[in-house]
Amino acid sequence: MSWLEKIIPAVKGDTVGKRGVPEGLWLKCPNCDSVLYTEDVEKNQHVCMKCSYHMRIGARTRLNGLLDESGRKEIGAEVTPVDSLKFKDSKKYPDRLKQATEATGETDALVVMQGAIEKVPAVVACFEFEFMGGSMGSVVGERFARGVDAAIKAKCGFVSVAASGGARMQEGLASLMQMAKTNARLAELAEKKLPYISILTDPTMGGVSASFAFVGDVVIAEPGALVGFAGPRVIEQTVREKLPDGFQRAEFLLEKGAIDMIVDRREMRATLARLLSAMRS
């Protein structure tokens, strides 16, 4: 069991990523147990045709669904992780990184792509949750920063799609500092009057939730996404009572006034294009 599963129950088993695409022709919806034809699910952007459950998807699958096909350019792929603390728990940090790379095909938990959304230019930074729980370390922070820089240079909007358990413990305080680093860069974007849209997907927790996730000009969540500062188990242990139904879910956040809207994945691209153009006079 990874450290993330400890914080977020039932993390495993319902993610469809680059390499995580089920081999079989059929797959079962983790929510309603309907048996679905894999190809149909893929065509439906990994949203269950029966119950509209939004399955977890990998960063590149997501980017493919959001960005126009032509003119895409990846940003920050040249930035890769180092083990500056020589961190060791039951496994060495470099071994964990290697394992995550083998599982996902990625070198860290954030993929940034410059391109356009329905012809509106944008830079999109997307988390890969399967890479060490989408945890934010120095590479995630640096790629994020380079993405914002690219948006400033191209005078276009910046979009982040979060899916993360929080900061990456294996990098110690440096990972906490990425919270300050990413938000400082977003402050520069804001000074240039360029739009920032934050999309919260399942799950967005801890240091990612408490940094750039909620400072978007517009904050959107996917239906049912779990989003919060502290994990439900930590809160349960603190308050010693059962948490209310739907606590920390997207619908709860909308009701509390924490987010602007909940958008179905299949409508996301059109919504982003509309919002990005709305924020340019």
Partner 1 sequence: MAKQHYLDFEHPISELQARIDELTELHNGVDQLDVSDELKKLRRKLADLNKSIYSKLTPWQIALVARHPQRPYTLDYIGGMFTEFVELHGDRGFSDDRAIVGGFARFDGKSCVVIGHQKGRDTKEKVARNWGMPRPEGYRKALRLMKLADKFSLPIFTFVDTPGAYPGVDAEERGQSEAIGRNLFEMAQMRVPIIVTVIGEGGSGGALAIAVGDTTVMLQYSTYSVISPEGCASILWKSAERASEAAESLAITAPRLKALGLIDHVVAEPSGGAHRDPVGMVQNLKPLLAAELTRLSELSPSERLQQRRARLAAYGAVKVAA
Residues that bind partner 1 (CB under 8 A): 3, 6-7, 78-82, 84-85, 87-90, 137-139, 141-142, 145, 167, 169, 171-181, 183-188, 190-191, 206-207, 209-215, 227-230, 234-235, 238-239, 243-244, 247-248, 256, 258
**Distance in angstroms (rounded) separating the CA atoms of residues 38 and 40:** 5
**Residue nearer to partner 1 on the CB measure, 40 or 89:** 89
| 167: amino acid identity, one letter | A
Q: CA angle, 229 as apex, 227 and 234 as ends, to 5°? A: 105
- Other Cβ atoms less than 10 A from the Cβ of 271: the count is 17
**Distance in angstroms (rounded) separating the CA atoms of residues 85 and 46:** 38
| 106: amino acid identity, one letter | E
Q: In whole angstroms, how close is the CB of 60 to partner 1 at the nearest point?
A: 20
**Residue nearer to partner 1 on the CB measure, 80 or 271:** 80
Task: Enter the DSSP assignment of 40.
Answer: H
Q: In whole angstroms, how close is the CB of 216 to partner 1 at the nearest point?
A: 10
Q: In whole angstroms, how close is the CB of 182 to partner 1 at the nearest point?
A: 8
Q: Which two tokens stand for residue 148?
A: 């914002």
φ/ψ of 104, rounded to 5, equals -115, -20
- CB of 217 closer than 8 Å to CB of 195: yes
Task: Collapse the DSSP code of 36 into the 3-class scheme (helix H, G, I; strand E, B; otherwise coil) and give the result.
Answer: strand
Q: In whole angstroms, how close is the CB of 106 to partner 1 at the nearest point?
A: 15
**Residue nearer to partner 1 on the CB measure, 103 or 210:** 210
**Residue nearer to partner 1 on the CB measure, 69 or 245:** 245
Q: In whole angstroms, how close is the CB of 134 to partner 1 at the nearest point?
A: 15
**Residue nearer to partner 1 on the CB measure, 184 or 270:** 184
**Residue nearer to partner 1 on the CB measure, 129 or 212:** 212
**Distance in angstroms (rounded) separating the CA atoms of residues 234 and 74:** 37
**Residue nearer to partner 1 on the CB measure, 53 or 131:** 131
Q: Minimal CA–CA distance to 151: which of 201, 186, 126, 183?
A: 186
Q: Minimal CA–CA distance to 267: which of 73, 52, 71?
A: 52
Task: Enter the DSSP assignment of 263.
Answer: -
| CA-based radius of gyration for the chain | 18
Q: In whole angstroms, how close is the CB of 279 to partner 1 at the nearest point?
A: 17
Q: In whole angstroms, how close is the CB of 63 to partner 1 at the nearest point?
A: 21
